[in-house]
Amino acid sequence: MTGPVVDVDKAVASLLDSARAASDHAYSPYSEARVGACVLDEDGNIHSGCNVESASYGLTQCAERNALASAISAGMRPGGAHVLLIFASGFEVLSPCGACRQVMSELLPADAVVISCVSDSEYRYWSVSELLPDPFILK
């Protein structure tokens, strides 16, 4: 993986508790999937989010997009983070959905690391460009 050197083990150790805590606030009466995510911005701030489901499934908000929206609303500029961590218990490691991949491609650098974990020892990670190699971009 090219780009910023991210120590994935260190990122998991420093961000997992925040993502786990965010997952405790998830509203998921339909899937019962409690997902939390957090973004570590370049100033060292952690921005968290959780999934919020809707009976109209298309309106469901994923934890990843909520964490990114939280970061942007706190003043992070697009491209201002290199790590996003996702936590979901009771599952195998989940990869982000297509909508989250598109938003990540717009708000994170292509070489940012996305880590999905179920514990501090069971995780998988990708760069944003690996998750979505040809994003939809308006110029």
Closest by CA to 118, choosing from 4, 23, 6, 28, is 23
92 annotated active-site: no
Q: Active-site residue among 32, 42, 64, 92?
A: 64
What contacts 74, CB < 8 A, 6 or more positions away?
45, 47
H or E element that contains 85: strand 81-88
Using CA atoms of 26, 114, 6, 19 in order, give the dihedral in degrees to the nearest 10.
Answer: 0
Structural contact between residues 41 and 48, judged by C-beta atoms closer than 8 angstroms: no
Query: Strand 113-117 and strand 123-127: pairing?
Result: antiparallel
Residues catalogued as catalytic: 64
